[in-house]
Structure 1
């Protein structure tokens, strides 16, 4: 398959240990289940440097395990190259969006469409709140939002 036939998506949140690795894992499983995983490059990253090198939050991992969604990720920060190599950069809240748009201004030839993942939510919940200081139920809510948004995003891009 030619590289031009491949689409790419980068999911982004503040630390890359809660929301964005959940979205990445959910989307990767959906693409795999739909038989289109080979047509996608899928990753996630952080706007901050807080958690670089760390695995996903244990509560997020437990939530994914409960739903049978494989999750393997090590936190990293968004790079300048991400703006030129990804088709889509989908983030979780207005703060992420602001940080990404500011970074994108310093990159020549950016090709990525930068927007909120929640834009795709059929229930119109635009913001996916950070569950870090919350409970297991908050991680479950993030998972449910990511399922809805990723399903709609995949449908639009199939």
Structure 2
């Protein structure tokens, strides 16, 4: 079982979008029994809050539900529980390294590297462009799925 943790600042927009996009891609590929997917926040600002309504609406436009998801915080102890930690932007990567103390096993990646890009998934909380965030996250998740199928399964 490969365990993936998507990470963003508050766990109400980008990382839950990635969690549920990836869950759908994995299910559509028949790999749900081989890949486990979660998401979390590097901050405490939104803990316990549901997925932000515009993010939930964007997912729904693509036939993806996210009911029952509430923001949780990434913990140092998560490092040993997951195989991959996928951040949405450079700040997420820095904060994951701070929380974990290091990335001694090379588990931390930025999502869009799996799409052959080095840029960040812009935060729709600020940009208000949930469609662009969805598109970028979907592209990154498709690349991540290919990576998992070629390198990890």
TM-score > 0.5 by shorter chain: yes
Q: Which residue of 1 aligns with 2:133?
A: 142
Q: Which residue of 2 aligns with 1:127?
A: 120
* Counterpart mapping for 1:48-127 below 5 A: 48-72=43-67, 73-105=69-101, 111=105, 113-122=107-116, 124=117, 126-127=119-120
Q: Is the 8 A contact 1:29 1:70 kept in 2?
A: no
How far apart are 1:133 and its partner, in Å?
2.5
Give secondary structure in 2 for the equivalent of 1:133.
helix
- Once the 2 structures are TM-superposed, how far is the Cα of residue 103 of structure 1 from its aligned partner? 1.6
Residue of structure 1 aligned with 2:6, choices 5, 11, 19: 11
User: Which deviations, in whole Å up to 9, do the C-alpha atoms of 1:13-54 show, x marking residues without a partner?
Assistant: 000000000000100000001000111110000000000000
1:91-111: CA deviation from partner (whole Å, max 9, x where unpaired): 01111111111122179xx65
Q: CA deviation at 1:126?
A: 2.1
For 1:131 and 1:125, locate their aligned partners in 2 and report how far apart those are by CA, in whole Å.
18
Contact (CA 8 Å) 2:2, 2:36: kept in 1 or not?
yes
CA distance in 1: counterparts of 2:34 and 2:77, whole angstroms: 20
Q: How many pairs were matched up? A: 148
The separation in 2 between residues aligned to 1:119 and 1:106, in whole angstroms, is 20
Q: Deviations over 1:63-115 (max 9, x none)?
A: 000110121311000012211110000001111111111122179xx656011
Give runs of ≥4 in structure 1 deviating > 2 Å.
none
Using structure 1 for the length normalisation, give the TM-score: 0.88
Match of 1:32 in 2: 27
**Other-structure match for 1:45:** 40
Q: Give the unaligned 5+ runs of structure 2.
A: none
Structure 2 counterpart of 1:3: none
TM-score relative to the length of structure 2: 0.91
